[in-house]
Amino acid sequence: VPPAVAKPNSTRAVMMAKDVDFRVFMNAHSENDADKLIKDFCGVQSKRDLNDGKPAAQFEDLRAQFLAWRRRQ
């Protein structure tokens, strides 16, 4: 079995926006709302931009905050 390949942040962002727990964490009312909040938080217009540079670091920070929050629930 080949090792799992890490998903790009752009793919993770799609998955997170669909996650009801993430929407509660972000106080988002819909998947589209969560998608916009992710992009606004990271200062990008396209999720593709989450894969590199400062936006990637900002996304990883948001994801880490969410995962820590979810563990406490």
Burial annotation 45-55 (CB, 10 A radius, 16+ → b, else e): eebebbbeeeb
Q: What confidence score (pLDDT) does residue 66 get?
A: 98
Q: What confidence score (pLDDT) does residue 5 get?
A: 78
Q: What confidence score (pLDDT) does residue 6 get?
A: 85
Q: Which residues of the chain have pLDDT under 50?
A: none
CA distance 59 to 57: 5
Per the CB < 8 A criterion, the answer to whether 55 and 43 are in contact is: yes
pTM for the structure as a whole: 0.90
